Amino acid sequence: MDDGTPIELTIDINKETGDAVFDFSGTGPQVLGNVNAPPAVTYSAVIYSLRSLVGQDIPLNEGCLAPIEFKIPKYCLLNPSDDAGVVGGNVLTSQRVVDVVLKAFKACAASQGCMNNLTFGDKKFGYYETIAGGAGAGPNWHGRSGVHTHCTNTRITDPEILERRYPVLLRQFGLRSGSGGDGEFKGGDGVVRERTLGSLIPKSWREGTLYFYVNLV
């Protein structure tokens, strides 16, 4: 995590039965912020990752997790107490769990690491979007640039629609060149999305490894 909290995972697969143990022992303790994630978030991230790795279509239901035993220590980041803040766990920590699972299988490098949510509005309207970023590279391919990855596979509002329906001016939206890093196979570049919004509009955003700008006027 960006604050240094580790997410550790050991996977033990029984080759005879196909069962597996996903052990998150060593994951850091729950935090005072809101990026803690209930176990259901980890279950969802794992089933997403496994369905992505399997070379055939399989149903999306709880039965897919029947061969898997989870070990998630109590009061860690992924199994917090009932009164812990968790609103950011679904949109940020879930993506980090996916990155960890895919890394454990040596499938690909980490992607943007967050759904990168932006919201603004007042009593009359509300706006919500998830912002694209870079996808991680693989053993023999470059990561895609400026895309929504993993659990945030959504589409962003067209600039013309955004500016027509809301008090917003989109000044810049493009790739952040070189942000994907170097290497034989490079990660995808992230994006810069610069807007000017009305000064009386409340704004809020949740982001992890993405850089973007908001001008307040």
pLDDT at 213 over 50: no
How high is the pLDDT of residue 143?
93
How far is Cα 211 from Cα 131, in angstroms, rounded to an integer? 10
Between β-strands 213-216 and 68-71, what pairing exists: parallel, antiparallel or unpaired? unpaired
Higher pLDDT, 155 or 146: 146
What pTM was estimated for this model as a whole? Answer: 0.85
* Band of pLDDT at residue 29, cut at 50, 70 and 90: very high
Closest residue by Cα to residue 191 from 146, 128, 152: 146
pLDDT at 90 over 90: no
Q: Which of 99-103, 104-108, 178-182 has the lowest mean pLDDT?
A: 178-182
The mean pLDDT value of the chain amounts to 87
Q: Are 13 and 101 in contact (CB under 8 A)?
A: no
Share of the chain above pLDDT 90, in %: 53
